[in-house]
Amino acid sequence: MAQTTGDRRGELHTRLALLPDDPTQLSSLIRFVEHGATPDEADAIGNALKSHHRSDLDELWAIFDVSESPAVRLSVGFILLKNKPGGQQWERVAPVLADDLTSDPRYLADWYQAYSPLRGLLVPHLRSVFRRPGERQALARSLAGSALAAYLRDKPLELIPLLEECAEEGQFAPIVTQLRLAREQVVPELHHRIASVDASDSPTPA
């Protein structure tokens, strides 16, 4: 019989309450996320592992690598990120996380902020998703636009080149919204680009 949301929450809270006196609950908490977890659940489990100095995270990496579910990978990845934010593993999995974040609007809404510490690694792969051709990639392209607008909000000039690559309104809207919030920084650059276009279009004097 499947657990209800209340049952899952109750199990998680019970295991977390037992943890200080029963370290064996750590393994149960890891198994808890094999079917995915909400950001709040993953945050609580990540904090529990961190507070108990759980340095052996191989079991979690194994779950991440074998799972075919974006929901599972995103929740497990966040727990790993809270415990080991550095390392070459993140370079390896960044393309997978970029694909997962842009596979469903719910995943992007739930997880983009949690993965902001990895934005430097994620942005190049999100740009690749943003440029993917094909009708079937329309949703992913739009979600990549939203993710890039969020992750590059403190570097708005890097959003300007994306304007020329927007294939649909879903990509354009979040980019332009973020640019408008940084009007003082971006308007001079936008005028410069338009001036360059106008100059190249001007007829050459005979």
- What per-residue confidence (pLDDT) applies to 1? 42
For position 120, what pLDDT does the model report? 96
Q: What is the pTM of this model?
A: 0.86
* CA 196 – CA 201 distance, rounded (Å): 9
Tokens of 84: 């080991």
Residue 104: the pLDDT is: 96
The C-alpha atoms of residue 177 and residue 159 are separated, in whole angstroms, by 11
Contacts with 139 (C-beta within 8 Å, 6 or more apart), sequence order: 102, 105, 170
Neighbours of 98 (CB within 10 A): 25
CA dihedral for 28, 33, 38, 40, sign (positive or negative): positive
Residues near 120 by beta carbon (within 8 Å), at least 6 away in sequence:
none
Q: List Cα–Cα distances, 176 to 117, 137, 179, 206, in angstroms.
A: 24, 21, 5, 39
pLDDT at 3: 56
pLDDT at 148: 97
Mean pLDDT by 10 residues, the chain (206 residues): 68 90 85 87 89 75 94 95 90 98 96 96 98 94 97 95 90 95 91 76 58
Spatial neighbors of 184 by CB under 8 A, at least 6 apart, are: none
Cβ atoms of 102 and 129 closer than 8 Å = yes
Model confidence over 59-103: pLDDT tens digits? 899 999 999 999 999 999 999 999 988 889 999 999 999 999 999
List the domain boundaries for the chain: 12-85, 95-196
137 vs 131: CA distance, rounded Å? 9
